[in-house]
């Protein structure tokens, strides 16, 4: 019998197991093109889990998805994952959407901004004209080269967790941004308690995560994009309503990344294509004719295999990212 798991967000037991995987499979899913490196990360995953398997659950009340063991990846796992030089994206849809929200916020001359997981500071550069005092822009980042680049750009950056930050003597922030980081974190209660301490009444929290509604559909098609322990949580707008209610934040708005239909289809089909061992072999063939013949053949076969996905992607709200704007309700404790 499968044990019922309590949802870490809403505590409901109306959770169901979506899929299970072992460290070997998790390793080959997060590093599909390098067997040696995949084996290395699998060993790290196994020692993190202290188990030979992990399950992914979905809550039918708040629609949060979560890994069990509910344990986020550690430094060893991320350094095995980013074994190749990693380049941070310089622009993202969520940056523009966040700037739109911040430009409508009621900021003062001494308003402070914090970005958690700031990469190489691309967003900080974009948003800095909206913050009058550049010294009041703070950030966190774990990657060493990322921290150096952010500091070179003239922003404060710490290699600390949110809870460590909340214990420090930083100012209260009027704007806190987190782009594609919350899905990597476990213990959301601690995360939101810390965010509460870092914010003021009326503070804006802007969070972008992968679109959980889309990923729930992909799971039903047998395509699992949230691979623990890299992604230990999955969010929908309902999840944020619950988190907000629990921790004193009001959901002021949610938006889904707008993307053209053909872009979404190509992204999905080619992601599947590059995961086929056969396609990686034919792509290495020196003969162009062979490369193109198998590429088009496999793309057609994948399109037929995943026809329900191709139809689903016609619906609105099926873009890659979900952005949520929350506002702090109570006086911080």
Decide whether 65 or 319 has the Cβ nearer to Zn ion. Answer: 65
- Closest distance of CB 213 from Zn ion, Å: 15
* The only residue of 19, 32, 39, 61 in contact with Zn ion, by rule CB under 5 A: 61
Decide whether 59 or 81 has the Cβ nearer to Zn ion. Answer: 59
* The only residue of 21, 41, 48, 62 in contact with Zn ion, by rule CB under 5 A: 62
Q: Is 64 exposed, middle or buried (0-12, 13-18, 19+ CB in 10 A)?
A: buried
Residue 18 binds to Zn ion (criterion: CB under 5 A): no
Q: Choose one: 1-9, 128-136, 215-223, 257-265; the region binding Zn ion (CB under 5 A).
A: 1-9
Please count the other Cβ atoms lying within 10 Å of the Cβ belonging to residue 289.
8
Residues in contact with Zn ion, total (CB under 5 A)? 8
* The only residue of 21, 25, 48, 59 in contact with Zn ion, by rule CB under 5 A: 59
CB 93 within 8 A of CB 180: no
Residue 7 binds to Zn ion (criterion: CB under 5 A): yes
Residue 21 binds to Zn ion (criterion: CB under 5 A): no
Q: CA–CA separation, 274 vs 271, rounded Å? A: 6
Residue 80 binds to Zn ion (criterion: CB under 5 A): no
Residue 10 binds to Zn ion (criterion: CB under 5 A): yes
The packing angle between helices 237-247 and 188-198, to 10°, is: 60
Give me the sheet containing 233-234, strands edge to edge. Answer: 15-21, 54-59, 65-68, 233-234
First to last CA, the chain: 43
* The only residue of 12, 193, 213, 259 in contact with Zn ion, by rule CB under 5 A: 12
Residue 188 binds to Zn ion (criterion: CB under 5 A): no
* The only residue of 9, 80, 116, 230 in contact with Zn ion, by rule CB under 5 A: 9
Residue 147 binds to Zn ion (criterion: CB under 5 A): no
Decide whether 124 or 324 has the Cβ nearer to Zn ion. Answer: 324
CB 199 within 8 A of CB 205: yes
Phi and psi (nearest 5°) for 195?
-60, -35
Measure the CA dihedral 120/202/206/137, to 10°. -10
Give the binding site for Zn ion (CB under 5 A). 7, 9-10, 12, 59, 61-62, 64
């Amino acid at each position: 019998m499968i044990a019922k798991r309590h949802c870490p967000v809403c505590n409901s037991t109306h959770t169901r197991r979506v899929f299970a995987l072992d460290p070997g499979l998790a390793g080959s899913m997060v590093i599909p093109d390098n067997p040696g490196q995949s084996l290395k990360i699998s060993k790290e995953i196994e020692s993190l889990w202290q188990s030979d398997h992990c399950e992914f659950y979905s809550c039918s009340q708040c629609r949060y998805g979560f890994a069990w063991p509910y344990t986020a990846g550690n430094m060893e796992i991320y350094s095995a994952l980013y074994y190749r030089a990693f380049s941070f994206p310089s622009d993202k849809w969520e940056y523009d959407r966040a700037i739109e929200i911040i430009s409508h916020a009621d900021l003062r001359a001494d308003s402070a901004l914090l970005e958690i997981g700031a990469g190489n500071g691309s967003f900080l550069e974009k948003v800095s004209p909206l913050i009058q005092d550049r010294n009041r822009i703070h950030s966190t980042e774990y990657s060493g080269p990322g921290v150096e680049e952010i500091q070179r750009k003239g922003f404060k950056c710490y290699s600390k967790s949110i809870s460590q930050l909340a214990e420090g003597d930083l100012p209260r922030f009027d704007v806190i941004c987190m782009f594609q980081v919350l899905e990597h974190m476990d213990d959301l209660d601690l995360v939101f308690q810390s965010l509460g301490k870092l914010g003021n009444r009326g503070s804006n929290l802007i969070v972008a995560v992968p679109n959980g509604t889309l990923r729930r559909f992909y799971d039903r098609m047998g395509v699992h994009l949230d691979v623990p322990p890299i992604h230990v949580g999955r969010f929908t707008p309902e999840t944020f309503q619950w988190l907000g209610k629990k921790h004193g934040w009001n959901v002021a708005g949610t938006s889904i990344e707008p993307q053209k239909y053909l872009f979404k289809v190509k992204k999905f089909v080619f992601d599947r294509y590059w995961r086929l061992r056969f396609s990686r072999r034919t792509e290495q063939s020196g003969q162009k004719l062979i490369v193109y013949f198998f590429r088009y053949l496999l793309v057609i076969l994948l399109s037929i295999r995943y026809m329900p996905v191709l139809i689903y992607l016609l619906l609105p709200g099926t873009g890659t990212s979900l952005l949520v704007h929350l506002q702090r309700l109570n006086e911080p404790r």
